[in-house]
Amino acid sequence: MCGRYSLGVPSATDLATMLRARLRPEHEALFRPRYNVAPTQRSWVVREEEGRPTLAPAVWGFPSTTGKFLINARSETAATRPAFRGAWKERRCVVPTDGFFEWKGPPRDRRPLWFHPADGGLLLLAGLFQDGPEPRFVILTTAANEIVAPVHDRMPAILAEDEAEAWLADPPEEPLAPAPAHVLRARPVSPRVNSVANDDPECLAPPPPDEPGPGGQLRLL
């Protein structure tokens, strides 16, 4: 599962440089650092355009026949599900983030955790996109590894750099596997992130002293 994430890179130019991707000039002004990206909001993906990886804006979520948006696709079944099989075959993308959120605790006291790269930088999530006047994307998920499993049984499908290049080039024959446990860390963050109305650096601040969060720092990938 992936229902909220961050992308606090200062500018589209910085992000394109980090990803070694082309950036169209008309898209640069659309970028702003994000600390609480939510479904139905605009974010950024890397997709192949004219044989080159290209950074482009897209809205998170495919529309569905139920009126709800599909924000995640199971990597084990996306190749055959009608909602995703065309994109799996022809419209794959990479969703750059610097961390994603999950929540732990009882329903009335859910505490957010931010799962982020152990060595800094970006996480590259496997995604699928739809073309249109406003392109859209979903994030692929896989079984949780031993770090995420105490919080949720699913996690985003995280790609290493070489895997991301292969993912953009061709669909894999096997489902995407969980990332190894040394890649990530997790730490409690401010309950500000619970509300999609909050989208500022304070979302990643430690929780207040009276809200220590669920169990301190965790080792993730």
pLDDT at 175 over 90: no
What are the tens digits of pLDDT across the range 104-162? 988 888 899 999 999 999 999 999 999 999 999 999 999 999 999 999 999 999 999 99
Type of residue at 86: G
Q: What percent of the chain has pLDDT over 70?
A: 95
Single pTM value for the model: 0.92
Return the minimum-mean-pLDDT range out of 178-182, 185-189, 207-211: 207-211
- Overall average pLDDT of the 156-175 stretch: 94
With a CB cutoff of 8 Å and minimum separation 6, the contacts of 163 are 124
pLDDT of 201 higher than 50: yes
**Averaged over 170-194, what is the pLDDT?**
94
Residue 213 and residue 181: Cα distance in Å, rounded? 21
pLDDT tens digits, 62-92: 999 888 999 999 999 999 999 999 999 999 9
The reported pLDDT for the residue numbered 220 is 34
Average pLDDT, the chain: 93
State pLDDT tens for residues 3-24: 999 999 999 999 999 999 999 9
Alpha carbons 132 and 19: distance in angstroms, whole number = 24
Q: What is the mean pLDDT of residues 164-190?
A: 94
Q: If we measure between CA atoms, which residue out of 152, 164, 127 comes closest to residue 43?
A: 127
**Are 22 and 52 spatial neighbours (Cβ–Cβ below 8 Å)?**
yes
Q: Across residues 33-47, what is the average pLDDT?
A: 98
**Tokens coding 2:** 């992936």
Q: Residue 219 pLDDT > 50, yes or no?
A: no
